[in-house]
Amino acid sequence: MWWFLRISVFCILFSLNYCSHSEFGNVCDTRSSTFFDTLLFKIAANLRSPHCGINVDLKLSSIKPLYEGRTQLLDYIKNDGTSALTASNTSCTGLELGGYSACLHAGLMLSLRRNF
C-alpha cells in the first residue's frame, strides 16, 4: 500500500514540476517571435499593407548626408561634439591629437527623416 502512495505522490509532483506552456505562432501576438519576424519581413520586402493594425508604410524622406557638403567617401571631420551626431563639420587636417578617434568618417554618415 505504501509503495502505491509513494509512486502516486512522485507522479503528481513530477507532472506538476515539468509542465510547460505551449507556444503557438500567432502572427498578431506581440509576445511571439513570429510577430516580429513577419513585421521585419514586410518592412524589408517593402510590402506596404498593414500588419495586425500596424502601418508599415513608413513614408521616409530621401537620404541626405548628415553633415552638409560631406558627400565624398573619404570626407573626415573633427570629432569635437558631445557625440558623433553633434560634431561641428570642420574638416580634419590630419594633424589632430587623439589618434583615430579625433576624426569622424563623415562620408558614411547619412540622415533619413520620417515624413508624417
Q: What is the pLDDT of residues 58-114, one digit of tens each?
A: 666 677 888 888 888 888 999 998 888 889 999 998 888 888 889 998 888 888 776
Range of the domain at 79: 59-116
Which residues contact residue 69 at a Cβ distance below 8 angstroms, ignoring those fewer than 6 apart?
89
38 and 89 share a domain? no
Give 8's DSSP letter.
H
Q: Is the residue at 14 inside a domain?
A: no
| pLDDT interval class at 54 (50, 70, 90) | confident
Number of domains in the chain: 2
Rounded Cα distance between 69 and 109, Å, is 12
52 and 77 share a domain? no
pLDDT of residue 96: 87
Q: Is the residue at 70 inside a domain?
A: yes
63 and 109 share a domain? yes
Q: Is the residue at 41 inside a domain?
A: yes
pLDDT of residue 24: 62
Q: Does the pLDDT at position 26 exceed 80? A: no
Residue 77, H or E segment: strand 76-78
The per-residue pLDDT of the chain, averaged, comes to: 78
Q: Which residue has the higher pLDDT, 33 or 108?
A: 108
51 and 80 share a domain? no
Q: Is the residue at 64 inside a domain?
A: yes
Sign, Cα dihedral of 22, 23, 26, 31: positive
Q: Is the residue at 48 inside a domain?
A: yes
51 and 98 share a domain? no
Distance of CA 31 to the CA centre of its chain: 16
DSSP notation for 33-66? HHHHHHHHHHHHTT--S-BTTB-----B---EES
105 and 64 share a domain? yes
